[in-house]
Amino acid sequence: MDLPTDPRGGRAVTNVNVVGAGMIPFGRHRESSHSGLGVPAVMAALGSAGIDRGEIDRVYCASSFGGLLTGQRVSRDLGMGGLPVVNVENACSGGATALHLATSAVAAGDVRIALVLGVDKLTQFGGGAIPLVEEDVEAAAGIVMPAVYAMRARRYMYERGARVEDLAQVAVKARRHGALNPYAQVKTETTIDEVLSSRPIADPLTLLQCCPTGDGAAAVLVVSDDVRAALPGPSMRVAASVLHSGTLATGFRDMLRPEITMHSARDAFSQAEITSDDLDVVEMHDAFTVAELVYYEALGLCEGDEAVAFLQSGATSLGGKVVVNPGGGLLSRGHPVGASGVAQVVETFWQLTGQAGQRQVVDSHWAMTHVTGGGLAGLDHGSCCIHVFEGEG
């Protein structure tokens, strides 16, 4: 049955804006520290907004693997000591969660200018799947994220009649978009044959169907209406900000019906007072190819059972009805965990303010960012954070 809007997801947003955005090229920055990654991203965002670092009221810094006081280390090296700094860890949705907290603070009138930073350095682990919590019973049994999504892919192929070629086509689209993004970790196009012939990871997923791990940082400035009015540059309005955690189910769970995403999207559309048909751009959590197909349906971009046809129609490619992951998504841009949610917002800001270059979505006005975080036994992801943005035009 349809559930009522859940007030725990966050209240309607009316007076919060993103006015600046910056990031560094994602990739392998083995010689850099977390602060070394974060500082240039922040400087780029400040320059974009025309805001001096001394005007910032509060810092929200997301990182899953940065260690203690990541936000303070970056702030110190920026000469921004003494500010309130909130460090956020919420797995892959950490960056989006940091934005959710900043949005809430600005909406409440507690803060006029907030800096949101996401930064992580995954090359410190030397490769492989991101480490999960050892005390989790499923992680201890080997249920790492590639295994989870491989099971989801098998179920998707069985129930939807999809082929491995359909999964591979998601990677092809992601790499085609990413090739136009100078900040993407992978900037070369690929083919279905190349995707399927890349080395196996967890059947039916191959290497090119899994997001690359690497290092990166992204930052945005979130401000109140009065600050926005005093700035000459472009902006986008935060129309919805929703955060949910997973609910426990110890028995059967439908892997193709991600409740946490469906409920978060329902509340986000309610807050923004739009529907999925209004969206022009979606930055989606595509850590593995099958995820994008599942989330097409969960976010209401297409009807159930129609995701493969929706993809093949070109509706989600540049020039299509609703462009999904114009920046290349996690599959091409890369996935330095704490940075990804903020990087989605940076890409959205560039799209809605006409600064996306060759990958610009023409006449874009409404955009959504969607990210889920973490695998824990019994939960349909640990968290999900969705934002809806409205452009000025």
Out of 61, 92, 211, 384, pick the active-site residue: 92
384 is an active site residue: no
Please name the amino acid found at residue 120: D
Would you state the structure tokens that stand for residue 68, as one six-digit string?
A: 């203690």
Q: Indicate which residues carry an active-site annotation.
A: 92
